[in-house]
Amino acid sequence: PVFFLQYHFIVFIVSTVLLTLSLLSSGMEGNTDLQFLLVGGDLLKVRSSSWKKTRFYKLQEDCQTMWRESKKTFKSNQTFSIKDISAVRAGRQSEGLRKNTEEQVEGRCFSIIFKGRRKNLDLMASSEEEAKQWVTSLGKIMSNMENLNSQQKIEHWIFNCLRKADKNSDDKLSRKELKDFLHQINIEVDDEYAEKLFLECDKSKCGHLAGDEIEHFYSLLTHRLEIDTIYGEYAKTTGFMSAENLLEFLIKEQREEATLADAHRLINKYELDDKAKEKQLMTQDGFLMYLHMPEGLVLNPTHKAVHQDMSQPLNHYFISSSHNTYLMEDQLKGPSSTEAYARALIKGCRCVELDCWDGSDGEPVIYHGYTLTSKILFKDTIKAIKEYAFKTSDYPVILSLENHCSVEQQRVMAQHMSSILGSALLTSPLGDRMPTDFPSPEELKGRVLVKGKRLTKLEACFGPEETAGDDGSFTEEEEDDKEEEEEEEKKAKLKLAKELSDMVIYCKSVHFNGFQDAKDNLGFYEMSSFKERKAMALAEESANSYIHHNVDKLSRIYPAGSRTDSSNYNPVPLWNAGCQIVSLNFQTPCNDMDVNQGRFLTNGKTGYVLKPAYMRDRGSEFDPITLTTGPWLQHKMLHLMIISAQQLPKVNQKKTSIVDALVKVEIHGVPADTAEKETPYIGNNGFNPMWNENFQFDVYVPELALVRFVVEDHDSVTDNDFVGQFTIPFTSLQMGYRHVPLLNKEGDPLPSAGLFVHIMIMDA
């Protein structure tokens, strides 16, 4: 590619070359933050109050790997990738640092938070200035990695594989090292082909590859025949694409309402060759760069930002929601952590659950009652929520309280919420008169709402001054098939503190006694929680009634108590019935969480997605099961070609393990739309498998449909292994030739992996 050919030096040999290339687009060459990390320094690693040990950390020359020196004789030095870091947090924000360090060292502390389930790295610098430097420098290098475009990420990845393959660090590739390199990049070739490739590149006939020979080898390896074909079809101006040629491609293939000005903009933005750019031509490398950028991806770039009407009542939106938010793992003996709240909120979750119990020293705690899950302080949880509530989304957060506390500790809960959340906590209705409907997400920006029991109707806020009175009694709502001891405790009446009751405004928890009773007797702000089996039955047997119920009220669904492993259920049938708060175990990676992430992928990842108009209409006749004629029925034909994949990660890190890649395409939506098709598998090639496989799907209710692309490693004996996936709302698909980025099990991007597809959507 032109990116390499612009430089007249060996592609992987000298560390300064790696540095220059990896930081090319960020302008960080010579940057003091970068130099600080490259030099490195000693930090105190904190594991417990008694385990605090000095370790040396530095950034390696590839600018994407942190190295830690091990003091143990037989233990190899450890590394971790910058791309595996989720966040760097200054101060004593982690539970470990709060518990194991003194308040006076606040300014010297910081934590590195990793993606997935890996434990935090809690560190302490020798001074506050040094701690700030580490936090700032790591933040900048992370930002730089994020800002690399797809092509540069691929180059990064291949560079590092080349470096690893050069076992003796002689800046050359032997035949064996070439074979090792091919294994590392997830491609199996027979010895005859490897030898042929080697001989073709070994121009000097010296038995190893160096300099330009490696460059030539890289070019052969990364050549994409499918791009040749597409580019050749439209490059009609002396072998290059003119702006007019590019415009023809945008209109004819990509089905965009583009203009000549759009074509000029893409050339100016993505063409790498300055001479071609001057003549307003696009080379094949510039064309490939465009296909890797947002304009060329499968997700409509206008849907990445907030693009929906946010002024509708709150209950007119699907709301990203978490169950047992405090848990990091299972709900029998897994750890509870404030970090779990931070992670859920950063993922865009807008409704979190707090299971509150009496703690020692008069301080309420959060944990899964009658189990061995660890406990965290309620006040620490509220502090974490305050810190992370609006990092990803400005729109309101709902605190779903499952309250098992005594009146005394409920008052402590109310005091903590009031003092910590301050003006963000909503403690009275908006406006000066009794509302008849929910406020909108826009009106509630930056606010925290409490969902729980309330002693009086909301109307009492606007009546004569309430007397302090006796504390009322209530039965906690989430009755489930848990242990008998818990059931007995729940049957006993609990007292409710007025201070906590008064904080419940728009989300008053009540029992569900049928749709007619709710319509006749409940206010709009009175909402019910449904265990999954009850909700699924209603969604299947009384879907239209459920939709009408949710036009006026909020519904929260939660997983069955029998899911002790914190597994999840399919949220789609509940969304189809208009349920807004469909709560999942965010701590458990699974297909259902993938679908949930796909549902909330768009609209700026705000955690709020506007329901279709026919699910907001009190007179709606929509029923996802029977699917009669109506405005919801917009029968579309989805024509999809799975063309190829690039740089799939190895599932098994054994040297000889190579992915046998296949692609599944799933449609999730109303029952009539639910479908799945898959390609054959391509053996021994995870680097650049090609299928050119055509699929066709009927989609009847596109506004509720999601498309999930799944890549698996075929196994004829056991279940296929998951490689990566991407889930997207049907209405956010871009037509034409598109790259599909892939996410790992945790929902984080696989840096260089993707699919290349062609999409056509037509009216049936």
Binding-site annotation: residue ranges: 45-72, 324, 353, 355, 402, 451, 453, 529, 556, 658, 660, 684, 713, 715
Beta bridge partners of 613: none
Q: Is 223 a catalytic residue?
A: no
Cβ-count burial 345-355 (b if 16+ within 10 Å, e if not): bebbbbbbbbb
CA neighbor of 105 nearest in space, from 122, 117, 121: 122
Distances (CA, A) of 237 to 231, 234, 276, 281: 11, 9, 12, 8
Q: How far apart are CA 34 and CA 38, in angstroms?
A: 6
Per the residue annotation, which of 183, 368, 404, 416 is the catalytic one? 368
**296 in Cβ contact with 282 (< 8 Å):** no
What are the b/e assignments for 139-158, b being 16+ CB within 10 Å?
A: ebbbebbeebebbbbbbbbb
SS3 445: coil
What are the backbone dihedrals phi and psi of residue 84, each rounded to the nearest 5 degrees, phi first?
-85, -5
CA atoms of 762 and 764, how far apart (whole Å) = 6
Q: Which two tokens stand for residue 215?
A: 């460059």
Amino acid in position 79: T
In angstroms, the CA 509 to CA 529 distance is 7
Residue 402's DSSP bridge partners are: 355
The answer to whether 378 and 416 are in contact (CB under 8 A) is: yes
End-to-end CA distance of the chain: 41
Alpha-carbon gap, residue 632 to 646, rounded angstroms: 37
SS3 label, residue 560:
coil
Neighbouring-strand partners of residue 354: 401
**Alpha carbon distances (Å) from 738 to 697, 758, 763:** 18, 6, 20
CB 454 within 8 A of CB 429: no
Q: How many whole angstroms separate alpha carbon 66 and alpha carbon 85?
A: 10
Q: Is 368 a catalytic residue?
A: yes
Calpha distance 442→449 (Å, rounded): 14
Binding residues for Ca(2+): 324, 353, 355, 402, 658, 660, 684, 713, 715
Q: Which of 696, 752, 695, 707 is nearest to 734 (CA)?
A: 707
Q: Region of 91 please: left (phi>0), alpha (psi -120 to 50) or beta.
A: left
Of the residues 156, 303, 323, 416, only one is catalytic, namely 323
Q: Which of 503, 469, 534, 514 shows the shortest CA–CA distance to 401?
A: 503
462, 466, 471, 476 alpha-carbon torsion, rounded to 10°: 0
- Which residue numbers belong to the known binding site for substrate? 45-72, 451, 453, 529, 556
Residue 762 CA to residue 675 CA, distance in Å, equals 18
Active site residues: 323, 368
